Amino acid sequence: MASVFISHSSRDKAFAQELVEALKALKHEPWIDARNINAGESLPTAVCEGVRSCQFLVALLTPDSIASEWVKKEWELKVFDDIQAKTSSVIPVLLKKCEVPAILATNRYIDWDVSPLAGFVDVAKRLDGHGNLSNSGGAREVLPTIRSTDGMKMAPDQSSNRDVSTVISNVISKNLLEGSVLSCCSQCHFETRHRVLGHHQEEELIDEETYEHHTNWWILKCLGCSSKSFRREHRCWNRFECDPETDEPTDASIEVEIFPKPLQKDGPDWFGELEPLFQRVFKEIYSNLNASNRMSAAMGLRLLVDLLIQKTVGPQSDFTQGLEELRKRQFLYQPEHDRLQTVVKVGSAAAHRAWVPTETQLNQVLDCVETAVYRLIILPARAREWSATVPDRPHLKKVQP
């Protein structure tokens, strides 16, 4: 629960009061002049105390508010307090298109006009300080699953920046969860809430009805980026080993498959600086890794080590001689030499003995190869470019005595 001062122009009072009600629904304590100043109380004194006593100040930015000297004083008071306390408690909200005042330029502002739902989620997260809406049962369940709201399509009655209560009620409402599930999104690269476009479930009892199997198939649409995916989830548990109070299985095994599979690895930022042959091999490795073809990816990594040896010291009779030549010429130090030997061993085991490394092992091996390629190919090329741009020391003429 946080105390928050709502700084606004009198012309934006209707929106400010709606925002107060929405924040109250999340158990926060909003401060607004119309409700927190008693009759006969000094207005400047009450506002000054309100600004300084609140943990946060939400600055509603509109052409009217930035033109108001009184509103500017509220911002300045909180900003100066932040400077002394070395904190950042001002949350600018761009309610209507206008120029963000210089005094708030260092604070990241929230553009309410782009998405009211995303705007309120952002404000509420900031007030909570932990990335979710604590102190509100429904919001605590819903908001952590809404990681990206930029792509969420909103109904016309939700898009008005005036109706804040409608926005927050839709965030908290259980209706938002009906027909939706949590799933990892291939485009967002993390777990998000998905709308269910299609669902099928099969149940089966085996081993004399001891074990129960449930298999679910879903066609899903991400509520963040709107991408589509197919999810298969298989659950198996012993029917006689359940929690006596909740009747939930205590040792259920779960297998999940998602198509298209979320990317496990993408190319580094220097990928475009490589020669076409290196790029082609790297792309094959990433493609195989993302498709769980770990044996093929391991063999590709061994090929990269071979290409690295040829590029650096020329063709060699075998991997052992090539890596030793790299070490002798001081291209590799001993620990890196040993790591690349392990890469070759992994690739050889996959190629000749059909050994399949785990995903963790393969990612670690890939990190070793990427580091070696970056250090032996990318950095020297960049150093040559940098050297060409550095001016030479001017030649000093020798002065005759």
Helix-, strand-, coil-residue percentages of the chain, each rounded to 5: 50, 20, 35
Reply yes or no on whether the pLDDT at 377 is more than 90. Answer: yes
- Is a pLDDT exceeding 50 seen at residue 132? no
pLDDT at 252: 72
| Residue of higher predicted confidence among 261 and 275 | 275
Task: Report the pLDDT value the prediction gives residue 141, as an integer from 0 to 100.
Answer: 34
CATH class of 271-385: mainly alpha
Report whether pLDDT(327) > 60: yes
pLDDT at 342: 95
Q: Please, what is the Cα angle at 239 between 237 and 244, to 5 degrees?
A: 110
* Mean of pLDDT values over 102-119: 75
Residue 138 has pLDDT above 60, yes or no: no
- pLDDT on residue 237: 74
pLDDT of residue 169: 44
Arithmetic mean of pLDDT over the chain: 78
Name the residue ranges covered by the structural domains of the chain: 3-172, 179-259, 271-385
Mean pLDDT of 203-228: 78
User: Is 94 a residue whose pLDDT tops 80?
Assistant: yes
CA–CA distance, 57 with 72 (Å, rounded to integer): 12
Highest mean pLDDT (candidates 55-64, 153-162, 166-175, 211-220): 55-64
Higher local confidence (pLDDT), 131 or 359: 359
% of the chain surpassing 90 pLDDT: 28
Nearest-Å Rg of the Cα atoms of the chain is 30
Directed axis angle between helix 294-313 and helix 319-328, to 10°? 50
Determine how β-strand 3-7 pairs with β-strand 228-238. unpaired
| Positive or negative: CA dihedral 374, 380, 384, 390 | positive
**For residues 226-242, average pLDDT:** 81
Nearest C-alpha neighbor of 107 from the set 131, 84, 83: 83
pLDDT interval class at 281 (50, 70, 90): very high
pLDDT band at 323 (very low <50, low <70, confident <90, very high): very high
Measured between alpha carbons, how far is 325 from 314 in angstroms, rounded to an integer? 10
- Note the pLDDT of residue 21: 81
Which pair of tokens denotes residue 384? 């040559």
Q: What is the pLDDT of residues 141-171, one digit of tens each?
A: 333 333 333 333 333 333 344 455 454 444 4
pLDDT value at residue 115: 62
Q: How many beta carbons lie within 10 A of that of residue 27, not counting itself?
A: 14
Lowest mean pLDDT of 113-127, 154-168, 303-317, 323-337, name the range.
Answer: 154-168
> Which of the listed CATH numbers 3.90.1150.10, 3.40.50.300, 3.40.50.10140, 3.40.50.12780 matches domain 3-172?
3.40.50.10140
- pTM (predicted TM-score): 0.42
How many whole angstroms separate alpha carbon 80 and alpha carbon 88?
10
pLDDT at residue 217 above 70? yes
Question: Please, which residues have CB within 8 angstroms of residue 348's CB and are 6 or more apart in sequence?
Answer: 302
